[in-house]
């Protein structure tokens, strides 16, 4: 473009921008003061500040989508740069003046959900997936809530109760992030593994009632309960316990 621009050149550039829907912002290092010839690098000109702000927030939304795989942004979420992305997304959904078709297409391409209440399962699943990635399991207390106030623990309980009516897709996706359908069976298996380790190390299963594993598991109390409830244990469980020295 060279070091100097005259007035017609500036007007022509502005006209091209205004008539081209795909160009939302044009920033360059020249400005006009009356009819003076601009000096390179003197100012940065932004023809449409609102569009510049939109693109900035869209870039933040794109970064969030690439990192998380979805656009269920908590309303309280603020980007590392300090932009209130959660509020921006919420306002887009509530706005009576919806974005242009081009803007909507761009948002849809990064997973925008315009009516999150109709996609509640998907939103809660992403929260469960995040919990699994952070903790390595999905044994979530029933009263657990996310930092944003979502009742994730209650949702997990509801999925267990609806196991038989869940679609195969939903069930498979939950299984992929460590869903525990029968908490009691899982806990029994965990404690049995601890008992098996104790037997391998000590050669017996005479575990003191107060004994806890190095991780704090109350193995002694569990062994006592198994003895007390021997009559109600399945034959398979009794056999497995006897094989590791249960008396």
Strands (DSSP E) contained in the chain are: 27-28, 45-46
Give the pLDDT confidence of 58-108 residue by residue, as tens digits. Answer: 888 888 888 877 777 787 888 888 888 888 888 888 775 566 777 778 877
CA angle 93, 97, 103 (to 5 degrees): 70
CA nearest neighbour of 159 among 190, 116, 128: 128
> Residue 174: helix, strand or coil by DSSP?
helix
CA nearest neighbour of 202 among 225, 228, 220: 220
Beta-carbon contacts of residue 151 (< 8 Å; ≥ 6 apart): 144, 145
| Residue-level pLDDT, tens digit, the chain, 247 residues | 344 444 444 445 445 444 544 444 444 433 443 444 444 443 334 444 456 778 888 888 888 888 877 777 787 888 888 888 888 888 888 775 566 777 778 877 777 777 766 678 888 888 898 899 888 888 787 778 888 788 888 888 888 888 888 889 899 989 998 888 887 887 888 888 899 999 999 999 999 999 999 989 999 999 999 999 999 888 888 999 999 999 8
C-beta atoms surrounding 206 within 10 Å? 13
| pLDDT above 70: percentage of residues in the chain | 76
Beta-carbon contacts of residue 124 (< 8 Å; ≥ 6 apart): 150, 152, 155
pTM (2 decimals)?
A: 0.45
User: How many angstroms from the chain centroid is the CA of residue 109?
Assistant: 18
CA angle 152, 156, 158 (to 5 degrees): 115
Tokens of 122: 């998907």
Q: How far apart are alpha carbons 22 and 93 in whole angstroms?
A: 22
To the nearest 10 degrees (0 to 180), the angle between helices 152-161 and 120-135 is 110
CA nearest neighbour of 222 among 186, 244, 182, 191: 191
């Amino acid at each position: 473009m060279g070091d100097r621009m005259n007035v017609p050149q500036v007007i022509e550039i502005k006209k091209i921008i205004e008539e081209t829907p795909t160009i939302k912002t044009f920033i360059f290092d020249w400005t006009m003061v009356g009819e003076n010839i601009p000096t390179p690098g003197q100012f940065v000109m932004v023809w449409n500040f609102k569009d510049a702000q939109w693109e900035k927030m869209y870039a933040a939304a794109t970064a969030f989508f690439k990192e998380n795989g979805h656009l269920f942004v908590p309303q309280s979420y603020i980007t590392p740069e300090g932009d209130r992305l959660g509020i921006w997304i919420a306002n887009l959904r509530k706005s009576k003046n919806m974005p242009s078709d081009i803007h909507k297409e761009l948002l849809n391409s990064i997973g925008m959900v315009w009516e999150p209440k109709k996609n509640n399962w998907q939103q809660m699943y992403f929260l469960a997936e995040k919990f699994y990635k952070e903790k390595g399991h999905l044994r979530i207390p029933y009263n657990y809530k996310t930092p944003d106030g979502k009742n994730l623990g209650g949702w997990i309980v509801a999925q267990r109760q609806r196991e038989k009516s869940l679609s195969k897709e939903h069930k498979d996706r939950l299984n992929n992030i460590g869903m525990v359908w029968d908490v009691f069976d899982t806990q029994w298996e965990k404690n049995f593994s601890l008992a098996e380790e104790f037997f391998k190390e000590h050669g017996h299963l005479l575990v003191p009632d107060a004994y806890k594993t190095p991780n704090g598991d109350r193995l002694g109390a569990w062994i006592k309960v198994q003895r007390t409830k021997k009559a109600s244990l399945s034959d398979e469980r009794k056999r497995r316990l006897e094989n590791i020295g249960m008396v």
